[in-house]
Structure 1
Amino acid sequence: MRRELLVPKLGLTMTEGTLVEWMVQPGDAFQAGQGIFVVESEKAANEIGADADGVLLEVVAEVGTTLACGSVIGYWDDGAAGEGVVAPAATPAAQAVCAPAAEVLAPAPAALQAGQRVPVTPLARRIAGQRGVELALVTGSGPRGRIRARDVLAVSEAQPHSDAAAPTGNLRAPTPLERTIAQRLTQAKQQIPHFYLSVEAEVSALMRLRQEMNAAQTQQKFTLNHFVLAAVGQALEAMPQVNRVWTDQGILSLGASDVGMAVNTDKGLMVPVLRAVGQQSLGGVARQSAALIARVQAGRLSAAEMQGGAITVSNAGMHDVSYMASIINPGQAMILGVGSVRELFRPDDGGQPVIRREMGMVLSADHRVLDGVTALQFLKRIVQALSQPAGLLVQ
């Protein structure tokens, strides 16, 4: 039976996806679980696998096209009786949670009448808005006359521009990932009432302990970030009242001490989430961290691996910064910005100058979920754990 392939909805905030690869071609047979195509959205490229054996019949979406969730991108045959009938999509598995998009373009007639809507891809519509191109002046080159991004760019480049009004530099459309990050951070900054707490952690003992641990063995090397992640996880276990997030339905208390970890890539900032950090050994935290970073670098991180947790750790210490006040990751309630370790003199109990190693940290918190006193108590637990790091080795 002929069935539809749809752009899947892979997360609550996903409204569209970009088709980045067809892994099979028309006429190719595939087996259940085999990858059929790859869709990029919500900060990740997701390989979509088949739910059942079948044959790819036709593709109707080109690689590089951005489409609304629920759009048809191809057809396949499941081998069942009923040839010629189009059945609802049943594969890939991710399509089981794919709700229809708010707006799916209908097939365009051969000739558009005056006042009719021009079929246009979401990316082409955005570029047209950025460049001031009237869509009515654009001839679409896509299926059924649909206007694509390259059609808008061609018209834009052919239009006369005023040297006095045109800004200098090169304009390009943002990538799907850049657009997603911009939308999510703008939403977070506008809708989440942030407040900020800054402290310094004295990490001389931590630096010595890390050096001794790394010198004692070669299989597992520990970074400062491993200790910070472990300290945050233990603080969540000790104060479950801060392990909660704001939702449209109410305040959700989380059961596990999951912690997000900001990872910088050439495509933008990715935030995989470590699971049950407060219940793991320091070695377990380091191994889970390394595995997630490897998946990020390989471009194999799934949407599920970036969901959950009430807090993210964003460590910029390697970039010579004293403090960093970060924007809360949407869906969470806190983010801890970690700065560089600084050497400076502080007076001891007798008033004599003593050199210290201090690491500046800023906790950004959601005031809908946390008050200042509770957030400060949580932050102080993290500082104490980093200042007396032997406790991080006890599990």
Structure 2
Amino acid sequence: MIEIKVPELAESVTEGTVAQWLKQPGDQVNKGDDIVELETDKVNVEIAADEAGTLQETLFEEGDTVKVGEVIAKIGDSGSGNNQATTEKAEEKSSSKEEPQEKKSEEASGSEEQTEGPGRPIASPSARKYAREKGIDLSEISARDPLGRIRKEDIIEHESNRQKSESKPAEPKQQEKKQDDPAKPVERVKMSRRRQTIAKRLVEAQQSAAMLTTFNEIDMTNIMELRKRRKDKFLDDNGVKLGFMSFFTKAVIGALKKYPLLNAEIQDDEILMKQFYDIGMAVSTDDGLVVPVVRDADRLDFAGIEKEIGNLANKAKDKKLTLGDLQGGSFTITNGGIFGSLWSTPILNTPQVGILGMHKIQMRPVAIDNENFENRPMMYIALSYDHRIVDGKEAVGFLVKVKELIEDPESLLLEG
């Protein structure tokens, strides 16, 4: 029998959630076939079979939490699945007829092995395991599953309700109806593991960093005219469109070189000055915000940056990002403008100490001199930074440098 265990996921990831079983008990499995998809704090990971055989048993249900090193499934030799199932049923039948003394004593002590069968509750493997550990009789559990299958969550809820009823006095009836008002229907949706992690990290960022945001605005006239002139040839030469993100990436790198504290992080009582430029690009997905990283962006040309951004965006959309795509990063860029945001205060992607927020390009009247105004395509930009190591002077100077480089895009060839 081959055990399928949760592999080492990443240095900071110790557990995951069973998102989807890709094979079911009885299915033939080839070496390298994906067995299960796990959702971790950052990405989804597929676990493959090391050997060929028949999937005998899955030990956890979809939605269950599993830890690194834990056995989650078992694979037997090809064709042995049905034989083993038949053998187990025969043994169970024989055991029920003979009623050995050791089983009677086990039942008397309150520990039980719940199996599916006439007169016995139908329960998932994880539910049976949990019930044995807690000494709970599954016949006392009410299943929420329409088919009557008891899950681990049902047992946890049953135990929680029992403890509450034992520890708390009865409340007035008018208070018991707070969550049961048919005139005010609600729907409860469990947060995904990734959404829980995002929420936790955002709160931690605001609580652990002395976060402050400063703003500026950019006249996008020159960069839009340059892009209009060059976009067709750029696409023909490189097979990728010339977007704004490559310009802003180059401008950020140029500004980071002048203000290196924004490319650092705090470790205990030391400042870690990073001598590389791995730029995170915030990407919105159906499962939440992720920040894949463009590695060594200072060594890439405009086409290289656009290709890498497109590649990471496609992987995020298809849920193919790896932990390596997300780890590290020295500075982050987020573009709320693609959703129409005109103004925002981005939250730090800790432990980084700086994040640049781009916004919607909008025509606004701009004073050319004391007498003349022109309508220009303008963009507000925002820099959120950790005031513990970055002073206001540096933060403002950083934004001014980004503004100067974008408004004079040819200079990006020299400074970006």
Q: State the TM bucket, normalised to the shorter chain.
A: 0.7 to 0.9
1:340 is paired with a residue whose SS is: coil
Q: Which residue of 2 aligns with 1:67?
A: 66
Residue 342 of structure 2 is matched in structure 1 by: 322
Shift of 1:199: 0.8
- What amino acid maps onto 2:15 in structure 1? E
SS of alignment partner, residue 174 of structure 1 = coil
1:327 CA displacement:
1.1
Matched residues in 1 for 2:370 and 2:364: separation? 17
Can you list the C-alpha shifts for 1:139-190, whole angstroms capped at 9, x where unaligned?
Answer: 398xxx9962255678999x99843455742122112222121112122222
Taking the aligned partners of 1:336 and 1:120, their CA distance within structure 2 comes to: 45
In 2, Cα distance between the equivalents of 1:350 and 1:203?
21
1:135-146 alignment runs, 5 A limit: 139=141
2: CA distance between counterparts of 1:260 and 1:3? 40
Shift of 1:47: 2.0
* TM-score normalised by structure 2 residue count: 0.70
1:172 equivalent in alignment to 2:189: yes
Shift of 1:306: 0.9
Tell me the residue number matched to 1:163.
177
Deviation at 1:23, TM superposition (A): 4.3
RMSD: 3.8
Which of the two has greater helix per residue? 2
Q: What is the CA–CA distance in structure 2 between the aligned matches of 1:350 and 1:310, rounded to whole Å?
A: 42
Question: By how many angstroms is 1:300 displaced?
Answer: 0.5
Matches within 5 A, 1:301-320: 301-320=321-340
Corresponding residue for 1:193? 210
Q: Do the aligned partners of 1:201 and 1:387 also contact (CA within 8 Å) in 2?
A: yes
Aligned pairs (5 A) from 1:93-132: 111=110
Aligned partners of 1:26 and 1:237: how far apart in 2?
56
**Structure 2: distance between partners of 1:147 and 1:37:** 19
Task: Output one character per residue of 1:274-302: Cα deviation in whole Å (capped at 9) or x when no partner.
Answer: 11112211111100000000101111011
CA gap of 1:15–1:358, structure 2 versus 1, over 3 A, is same
Residues 212, 153 of structure 1: CA spacing in aligned structure 2 closer, same or farther, 3 A cutoff? farther
Distance 1:110 1:74 in 2: 29
Using the TM superposition, give the Cα deviation of residue 361 of structure 1 relative to its aligned residue in structure 2, in angstroms. Answer: 0.9
| TM-score, length-scaled by structure 1 | 0.74
2:94 matched residue in structure 1? none
Who is 2:279 aligned against? 259
Structure 1 unpaired stretches of 5+ = 79-108, 114-118, 125-135
Distance 1:250 1:352, change over 3 A: same
Q: 1:48: which partner in 2?
A: 47
Shift in Å, 1:49: 4.3
- Asked if structure 2 preserves the Cα contact closer than 8 Å seen for 1:214 and 1:220, the reply is no
Q: Partner letter of residue 197 of structure 1?
A: T
Q: State the secondary structure of the residue aligned to 2:341.
A: coil
8 A Cα contact 1:203 1:357, kept in partner: yes
Identical aligned pairs, as a percentage?
Answer: 28
- Asked whether the equivalents of residues 219 and 376 of structure 2 are also in contact (C-alpha less than 8 Å), the reply is yes
- 1:2-50 deviation digits (Å, cap 9, x = unpaired): 665433453444343111234456675544x654432111231112346
Q: Decide which moves more: 288-297 or 333-342.
A: 333-342
Comparing 323-332 and 281-290, the one that deviates more: 323-332
